[in-house]
Structure formats: C-alpha cells, structure tokens
Amino acid sequence: MPAVWITADKIDAARHAGYTVVDPVSVLGTHLSEIVRRYAHELFSRQDAKKVVDRVGQEQPKLIEELVPKQLSLGVVQKVFQNLLRERVSIRDSSSILEALAEGAAMTRNAVLLTEFVRQAIRRSIVKPLLNSIGELPLYFCDPELERIVEKAVEHSEHSSHLNLPPQTIRHIVDRFTQTFVLPESNPGVLTSSSARYFLRQITETALPALAMLAHNEIPPGVKVISVGTVK
C-alpha cells in the first residue's frame, strides 16, 4: 500500500484528515510476516518435517508407522510440505496432509504428483481465502491453448516432474499473465487443468508471487465458480 512517514506530532491531524495511521512496529511486523510467508518453503527444514511427523504420530501412530519410511522417505514428505508452503497453503492440518500422502503413496512417489493429490484432499482450506462475501469463487479461466502448451512439455519421472519448454515460450506465457493482472491486488486467482496447474504456477511465480492457481479438481462440491475473465 502506498504510504508516507509522518512525525508523532502529526498523528492526530492525519487521523482527522481521514488517513489510516499505523505505528512503525505494526509496519515492520507486517513486512516481516510477508517475508516469512514468501520464503516459508525455504525455511522448512528436514528437522521441521520430522517434528510434524512426530507430532501427528502421537495422535495417529499407525498412520506414521505405515507412511514413514515404509511408503515415503522423510525427504519426500518434506518436499511436499515445501511445495504447499511455496504457494502459501496452510499446513496446520498436518494430519489430513499426511493421510492424503499415505493414500497417494500407493500410486506414486513423485513429489509433484503427491503435492497435487494432497491439494485435492485439502481443497476446502485452499479455496476458503478466495471466496467472496456470499461464498462464491471468482476466478479467471486459463486459455486452453496455454494449458496444452504446458501439458505437452511436462515430463514425469519416478520421483519428480519437469517442464521442458524453451525460454521464449515461458516468457510468452508470463507476458500473457502479467498483461491480464496489471494490478496484482485485484486478481482473485486462476482456474486451469490439473496437469498444467503446478507448472503454470512455477512459470508465473516470480512475476506474480501472490497469484493463486487452482485446478478444476480442487473446487469443492457446492462452491459456485464465477468467471471474471480469461488469461488469453
């Protein structure tokens, strides 16, 4: 938000003039919180993952006994949590996340695919911050052409997935998103295909760090999606 610094003797006059006055400590706290949210995935260590697993293990010992390390290594669990934090998804409901991992581990050990599986399992908590005052979900739709370009370039391996696109194509995709979201604070989010979602988010992360990217299978039943435009 645009703001100006004033001296303490001008606080009353500023408030009388209709300005919102914020004290320096609150400003610093807000910036610090934003920095932590933006880089939480880098701060989340292997030891942090171990603490989460141990905490859940106290309540659901059978779940953890079957999951780590029989189905997934602690490193894969850490990577999934980091992927969620990277997109500012809350990991407070660690039990649901680990339960989803236990289900997904029966099909794959690919951290990217497991992350998408977990997101679908906790979709209500992901969507909740994006709902408007009457419970509707305003979203931009992604052009199917962009989705196809990304989907064709995705390569999956046993443990991870990669996007094989030339730099000029990536630049083209980023430009189409930034042209749509000129004012970052005005974007409600983007709806795209499940196979393209993760990589579109990776592509646009630097230019639009706060942009929420949702897949069709992440929309909870009963939630009405309102189209507010298309990323063309």
Confidence tier at 84 by pLDDT (50, 70, 90): very high
Is 90 exceeded by the pLDDT of residue 49?
yes
Q: How far is CA 166 from CA 111, 141, 207, in A?
A: 24, 24, 18
Q: What is the CATH number of the domain that holds 158?
A: 3.40.50.12790
1 domain-assigned: no
Q: Which of 74, 100, 121 is the last residue of a domain?
A: 121
In 23-79 the beta strands, taken as DSSP E runs, fall at none
| pLDDT at res. 185 | 57
Render pLDDT for 52-68 as a digit per residue (tens, 0 to 9). 999 999 999 999 999 99
Q: Is the dihedral of CA 84, 86, 92, 98 positive or negative?
A: positive
| pLDDT at res. 186 | 57
Clarify whether residues 142 and 106 are in a common domain: no
Q: Which of 121, 151, 179 is the last residue of a domain?
A: 121
| pLDDT at res. 2 | 86
Structure token digits, residue 221: 């039943």
Q: The domain containing residue 37 runs over which residues?
A: 8-41
Clarify whether residues 142 and 211 are in a common domain: yes
Is 60 exceeded by the pLDDT of residue 184?
no
Percent of the chain with pLDDT strictly greater than 90: 93
Clarify whether residues 142 and 169 are in a common domain: yes
Return the closest-CA partner of residue 91 out of 103, 102, 109, 77.
77
| pLDDT at res. 188 | 72
By DSSP bridging, strand 161-163 and strand 137-142 are unpaired
Q: How far is CA 36 from CA 29, 40, 50, 105, 231, in A?
A: 11, 5, 20, 30, 29
Q: Please state the pTM of the whole predicted model.
A: 0.90
Is 60 exceeded by the pLDDT of residue 187?
no
In the chain the beta strands, taken as DSSP E runs, fall at 137-142, 154-156, 161-163, 190-192, 213-215, 225-231
Clarify whether residues 100 and 142 are in a common domain: no
Amino acid at 149: I
133 domain-assigned: yes
151 domain-assigned: yes
48 domain-assigned: yes
Q: Which of 98, 121, 144 is the last residue of a domain?
A: 121
Return the closest-CA partner of residue 78 out of 104, 106, 114, 127.
114
